[in-house]
Structure 1
Amino acid sequence: MKYKILNKASEMFLNLGFKSVTMDDIASALGVSKKTIYSHFANKNKLVEESTSLIFEKVCQGINFICGKEENSIKELFEIKKFVFTNFSNENISPQHQLQKFFPEIHQKMKNKHFGMMKACIEKNLKRGIKDGLFLPNLNTDFVTRIYFTGINGIKDEHIFPEKEFRKKELMTDYLQYHIKAISTTKGIEKLEQIINNKQN
């Protein structure tokens, strides 16, 4: 039952927001009493914490699967973006913003875990891209990784990129293209344009 509650809570938090969803909402969606939920989770904070951990694990599994295919580095970045956006983004609400505002300690903890996972993934991606001649040979991979992570989090900032003015999917695509163009060789730019043209067609 605990895992069933976690799965439903995670789904609802992503679709409706961490603040918006109440324990009553989750109990109603599962057809159980609120007492049943509290028998597994002492309070909402604990449920949010474990739900974010479950979401993080699912993100890691998906990204590790994509990286395991060892596509060219540019295609890999687009595949990761597609996976994350399709499964863990919502055009209408900002779960990340609600988590940061109402559960700051949990948000910071997840941000640290996210950075650790992203750092390993992007550094590997950069090194393979350099080896394949897609990325500039003199890149400082540690610096680029941190800039990429900072940018990914920056475009989620509701104050800088308000949802009424910027669609999440287009914003993520624009940022990814910006990142790739900044670090690519001529060969890399050609590969990027090929991927963009294929998606448009």
Structure 2
Amino acid sequence: MREKILIGASELFLNFGFKSVTMDDIANNLGISKKTIYLHFANKTKLVEATTMYLFESISEGINQICALQKDPIEEIYSIKQFIMEHLKDEKSSPQYQLQKYYPKICNSLKEKQFKVMQTCVIDNLKRGIQLQLFRESINVEFVARIYFSIMLAIKDKDLFPDKLFSMNMLMSNYLEYHLRGICTAKGLETLNKFITSNQS
């Protein structure tokens, strides 16, 4: 039952946001009593925390599976982006932004975990890109990995990038291209341009 509640709550939170979804909404959506939810989660904050970690674990596992395929590093970055967007429902409820605003402690805990996962994944991606001569040998891998993470968080700030001007898909696509054009060799740029062209057609 606990996992059923987590899955149901995840769907509602991602579609409508952490703030607006109530325990009644979740109970009604799952066809169970609110009392049943409280048997597993003491309050909404505990449920938000558990749901957030549940989503994090699911997404981390998916990213690890994509990384294990050892794809071309440029294609890998876009595959991870696509996977995350699908699992977070295109981030239409701005989950990270809402967590920061209404549940800052949970958000900070999540950020620490995201940083560890992304550092491992991004550093490996950068090193493989350098080995394959797609990324410049002169880049500072540690610096680029941290900049990558910090900007991924920044583009989710709805005060900086309001929905009426920027969709999350557009922001992610533009940032990934911006990131890659900054580190690619001539060979890498050729690969990137081919990839972008083939995915636009």
TM-score by length of 2: 0.98
Tell me which amino acid in the other structure corresponds to 1:18: F
Contact persistence 2:6–2:51 (CA under 8 A): yes
* 1:94 corresponds to: 94
* 1:26 corresponds to: 26
* 1:119 corresponds to: 119
Contact persistence 2:155–2:161 (CA under 8 A): yes
Structure 1 residue 112 displacement after superposition: 0.7
Contact persistence 1:16–1:95 (CA under 8 A): no
Gaps of 5+ in 2: none
Aligned mates of 2:141, 2:6 — CA distance in 1: 37
Structure 1 outlier segments of 4+, above 6 Å:
none
Structure 1 residue 200 displacement after superposition: 1.2
Cα distance change, pair 146–89 in 1 and its aligned pair in 2 (3 A): farther
Secondary structure in structure 1 of the residue aligned to 2:90: coil
* 1:48 corresponds to: 48
Note if 1:37 corresponds to 2:37: yes
Contact persistence 2:99–2:106 (CA under 8 A): yes
TM-score by length of 1: 0.98
Secondary structure in structure 2 of the residue aligned to 1:164: coil
Structure 1 residue 170 displacement after superposition: 1.0
Aligned mates of 1:124, 1:91 — CA distance in 2: 26
Structure 1 residue 91 displacement after superposition: 5.7
* 1:128 corresponds to: 128
Aligned mates of 2:119, 2:56 — CA distance in 1: 15
Aligned mates of 1:115, 1:170 — CA distance in 2: 23
Contact persistence 2:85–2:91 (CA under 8 A): no
Contact persistence 1:122–1:145 (CA under 8 A): yes
1:170-181 equivalences in 2 (<5 Å): 170-181=170-181
Structure 1 residue 96 displacement after superposition: 1.7
Identity of aligned residues (%): 51
Secondary structure in structure 2 of the residue aligned to 1:166: coil
Query: Which sits farther off after the overlay, 129-138 or 81-90?
Result: 81-90
Aligned mates of 1:200, 1:28 — CA distance in 2: 41
Question: What is the aligned length?
Answer: 201
1:120-159 equivalences in 2 (<5 Å): 120-159=120-159
Contact persistence 1:24–1:34 (CA under 8 A): yes
Note if 1:65 corresponds to 2:65: yes
Aligned mates of 1:28, 1:81 — CA distance in 2: 32
Contact persistence 1:15–1:90 (CA under 8 A): no
Secondary structure in structure 2 of the residue aligned to 1:39: helix
* 1:188 corresponds to: 188
Aligned mates of 2:109, 2:31 — CA distance in 1: 31
